[in-house]
Amino acid sequence: MWGHMGGYGWEGGWGWGGMIGMSLFWILIVVALIALVRGLWGGGASSERRQERTALDILKERYARGEIEREEFEQKKRDLSN
């Protein structure tokens, strides 16, 4: 009566297959949550691309926005190439 736990013990229940299946289920849940959190906070390749801007890229953007004149742009571009 007390020894077999109503058929849900090792011999009559899910056994090792159930334990492995349940472990895989929880591992997949944790991996999905990690991927979701990284996606929400901008992790991954997109944040690395933002860091790859060079000084010349920034200079070109400033010139395009009209923050600096052509002469200043050309001078700074020469300075950066030296």
Which of 32, 73, 34 is CA-nearest to residue 56? 73
Which of 58, 28, 13 is CA-nearest to residue 4? 13
State the Cα–Cα distance between residues 42 and 53, nearest whole angstrom: 17
State the Cα–Cα distance between residues 65 and 3, nearest whole angstrom: 80
Per-domain residue ranges for the chain? 12-51, 52-82
Q: What is the pLDDT of residues 7-59, one digit of tens each?
A: 555 555 566 777 888 899 999 999 999 999 888 876 555 555 567 889 999 99
pTM higher than 0.85 for the full model? no
- Token readout for 37 is 């959190």
